[in-house]
Amino acid sequence: MRSRYSAFCTGNVDYLLNTHHFPEPAAVMRDRIEATLKTTRWLGLRVIHSQSDGDMGEVEFLAGYKDAGGFGLLREHSLFHREQDRWFYVSGKHLPPPKLQRNDICWCGSGKKFKKCCGA
């Protein structure tokens, strides 16, 4: 999970494609990922819960981002499958993100309160 988040941050589309089980053609997926990378700056990742049972794993995480619409939080419950000691992203279900309070520390890493930074 963390390696895929890092790939989103660094724009490593090939890694994202190589660690994904595809429900759709890779070319379509590449276009979607590249479009997201052009408009999104990822600010941080927090793993809420993770577990694995044999070759199946699941992760619930929060990721902060900025895009044309401003600041946002992505909360997802993701499923992974291990094949030959490599983990592959299978699917994810978006969950409602927590509501940030004005006095919470901002996700962007500034050290400022949310209300004085990305929440302004």
pLDDT tens digit sequence for 59-88: 999 999 999 988 899 999 999 999 999 999
pTM above threshold 0.85:
no
Of 37, 27, 51, 28, residue with least CA distance to 4 = 37
pLDDT at 109: 78
Closest CA to 107 of 12, 98, 13: 98
CATH architecture of 2-116: Roll (3.10)
Neighbours of 89 (CB within 10 A): 17
Q: What is the pLDDT of residues 8-40, one digit of tens each?
A: 999 999 999 999 987 667 778 899 999 999 999
pLDDT digits (tens, 9 = 90+) for 93-118: 999 998 888 888 888 778 899 888 88
